[in-house]
Structure 1
Amino acid sequence: MTTTKKRAPSMSVDLYSDENLMNPYPVYDEIRELGPVVYLEDLDMYVSARYDAVRTILTRSDVFVSYEGVMMNDPMNEALKGIVLCTDGDEHAAMRKVLAKPVMPKELRSVRPEVEAEAETLADRLVAKGRFDAATELAQHLPLTIVSKLVGLPEEGRQRMMIWAEANFQCFGPMNARTEAAFPVLEEMVGYALNQCVRGKLVPGGWAERLHDAAEAGEIPMEKASLMALDYLGPSLDTTIFGIGNAVWLFANNPDQWAKLREQPTLIPQAINEVLRLESPIQGFSRYTKEEFEIEDVTIPKDARVIVLYGAGNRDGRKFPEPEKFDIMRESVADHLAFGHGEHACVGMNLARLEMSAILKSLCPRVEGFEVHETERNIINVLRGFSKIDISVH
């Protein structure tokens, strides 16, 4: 007896158009309703938007591999082969172990007082001001001060970090105009790593310097130490900045939820999970199929690229009832996929949580409510967040 393999349903849509990046959720709904995995004719790739399917793909790293790259274009995948994000198995585990040491909960305990004190000072200043840009003046402050100091990168070129970080994530997308424009900027960032993130130019004892210590101890290849310093940019810059901005925007638009949080600040970890679920800073990466695989009743062929939409899985009503509602009391919200899942889950998640928590903790006793005047979204291939949130606090 033979069984018939069911091909994935297909659709024609530019997932990375300006319009769909500004508001991706209607397209996510369409993809989700078509099936667990859908073939995108325009990109010649597959895409998954259902929670269970996304989680399965992220769990099965033996089938859905990262060593062929996790981006949606070949030049970037080829250029970044061998970095932490684009490796699997023992090689990935060895580099990840070294990279993660400074951002594990135990180590972050020692920097928590400094981060929280800086957040308190920032909140005092901005609340006294009354009206400010939450996307820049608030959300960028901790990543660009405290965290940059902890990483210990040289001062030279540091002012370009925000530009580099955005270009990096633009290059994760398909080969569209945004991606092409970002490649020269990304080359500048790599040049900075190779020429500046070296012994003698790094802050002694900083996270980047510790990568060179690990290389000399034989824990990671010597040639990877400088480039791995840039792996701290992802968790310390755009993604966290967008997470903080998204949180303020959500609470401004849901004053009842802000009132709940002010009454019970112990809900801050839960609230952060709900913010990340509803407005995931990273909307999705991709994987490559090492072999044929069936999800539910749909077969994904070998040697296919599958876009894994964290932001869509997090809004799947099969997992989260009333998925578009912002509810900091939501059950099972800790199961969100905003940090990915499995062996490639975000290395910097604990650092991001610390920064978001410090900001919310400092605002709770000082701010009764927010009023948004104007917003502008950043249009980045795989990220979701604001470039401007003009806001008043009361």
Structure 2
Amino acid sequence: MSDVPVSDVDLFTHDARVDPYPIYEELRALGPVVHLSRYDLYALARYEQVRAALMDWRTFTSARGVFVDPALNAQLEGITLCSDPPDHTMMRAVLGRPLRQDRMRDVAPRIEAEADRVVSKLVDRGRFDAATELAEHLPMTVVSDLVGLPDQGRVQMLKWAAAIWDVQGPANERFTNAMPSVEEFLAFAVNDAVPGNIDPDGWAAHLYQAADRGELPREKCPVMMLDYVTPSLDTTILAITNAIALFAQHPEQWDRLRADRSLIPHAINESLRLESPVPQFSRVLTEDHEIDGVPLPAGSRVALLYGSANRDERHYPDPTRFDITRRPSDHLAFGRGEHVCVGMHLARLEITALLHRLADRVSRFEIVASTPMINNGLRGLEHLEVTVQTDETR
């Protein structure tokens, strides 16, 4: 379409996954909508347009898939992520029950105790991998136990979750390499993670119990486990790791947080805004639609670039600055509207518990080495080796 700026940029190259921000800035400058010719996507890179799309599920449907690859979108139609009301409302009501904010009160003591244990052990050592040893600990000990999968499933959860995110992108090499793991998980969900093999008090079992009560079709239960495995792990792990990296790079912000713990919720929001673990999803237009004066035809697939929107200078002054007093509670890292992240209260609880306990002990983080995660659907650090100073050692 002649009215739409065109870019042949590839958001899924190695370099783009490591540092997409120059690309995002270029796309925001081109206009409110940019046609990504490589994948026939219409990208929304500015905050106002991304938020508006998230709030309008009738026009920007998820029911035709939210990924890039057409074949995978067709295959996954009907899962929670790839659905709209009323089906989405039905599934989300069941999925979200153990993840409601009021239910977090029951989980909080356990998470806080584990956070205290892991922080004490690692800080006493003085040097550790903040990604694998700190950030992975709560999701892999507490959350995996709450889901209640059989032991062989827990061992594979991280591998499966990363693979599921990798197939969010186009059918590139990472996508192809990830597909066997995705198929392995789906086979496990259908054949192994079933009543009799799963913890009867766990979240997975509660899906089947809801089906027995007639709240949802029983055949939905296996694929709905995706919603407990995928959002519960990598996204939270990356969010924790990103926060530690940012505080290492901005020690004055860490001093502020230590002096005023009421800043922790804002620090979490600011970290998620600046380094969003999930940089994009897509939607499909159900009708001809005009976006800020740009007409797009029904059936267009639209990429919502959360990672770009959260750094849009039109919405956030000095958007690349990390400032925990900013209070950006309107960030889009968790999405918005009908598809807002069902596990966000759990993620906040985990990050809050760790930041409180780290603030009790750590005066400074120093980055020794880091390795970026290269994944089609995620962005962050796979490894972050740090040393820490305490008030006693300074």
TM-score (norm 2): 0.97
Q: Which stretches of structure 1, 4 residues or more, deviate above 3 A after TM superposition?
A: none
Q: Is the 8 A contact 1:59 1:341 kept in 2?
A: yes
1:247 to 230, 239, 243: 243
Please tell me the root mean square deviation across aligned C-alpha atoms, in Å. Answer: 1.0
**CA drift at 1:79:** 1.5
Distance 2:5 2:378 in 1: 26
**CA drift at 1:167:** 0.5
> Residue 354 of structure 2 corresponds to which residue in structure 1?
359
1:342 to 317, 332, 337: 337
SS in structure 2 at match of 1:231? helix
Amino acid in the other structure paired with 1:103? L
The 5 A counterparts of 1:217-296 are: 217-296=213-292
1:138 to 125, 129, 134: 134
2:384 to 376, 389, 393: 389
2:8 to 2, 8, 12: 12
Amino acid in the other structure paired with 1:351? L
> Residue 97 of structure 2 corresponds to which residue in structure 1?
101
Amino acid in the other structure paired with 2:6? S
> Residue 210 of structure 2 corresponds to which residue in structure 1?
214
Distance 2:3 2:180 in 1: 39
> Residue 157 of structure 2 corresponds to which residue in structure 1?
161
SS in structure 2 at match of 1:326? coil
Distance 1:53 1:227 in 2: 31
Distance 1:297 1:314 in 2: 22
1:200 aligns with 2:196: yes
**CA drift at 1:181:** 1.2
Distance 1:356 1:234 in 2: 17
Q: Is the 8 A contact 1:147 1:236 kept in 2?
A: yes
SS in structure 1 at match of 2:367? strand
**CA drift at 1:302:** 1.1
Q: Is the 8 A contact 1:6 1:297 kept in 2?
A: no
Post-superposition Cα deviations, 1:306-347, rounded to whole Å, max 9, x if no partner, equal: 11011100000111000000000004x000000011101111
Uncovered stretches (5+) of structure 1, i.e. residues with no partner: none
SS in structure 1 at match of 2:319? coil
The 5 A counterparts of 1:305-344 are: 305-331=301-327, 333-344=328-339
Post-superposition Cα deviations, 1:207-256, rounded to whole Å, max 9, x if no partner, equal: 11111010011111111112212210122100000000000000000000
> Residue 364 of structure 2 corresponds to which residue in structure 1?
369
The 5 A counterparts of 1:147-158 are: 147-158=143-154
> Residue 392 of structure 2 corresponds to which residue in structure 1?
none
Post-superposition Cα deviations, 1:264-305, rounded to whole Å, max 9, x if no partner, equal: 011111110000000000001000111111111111221111
> Residue 47 of structure 2 corresponds to which residue in structure 1?
51
1:118 to 109, 114, 117: 114
Amino acid in the other structure paired with 1:354? L
Amino acid in the other structure paired with 1:362? R
**CA drift at 1:354:** 0.7
TM-score (norm 1): 0.97
**CA drift at 1:6:** 7.0
**CA drift at 1:89:** 1.2
**CA drift at 1:107:** 0.7
Amino acid in the other structure paired with 1:355? E
Amino acid in the other structure paired with 1:93? T
Paired residues in the alignment total 389
Q: Is the 8 A contact 1:235 1:352 kept in 2?
A: no
Q: Is the 8 A contact 2:186 2:222 kept in 1?
A: no
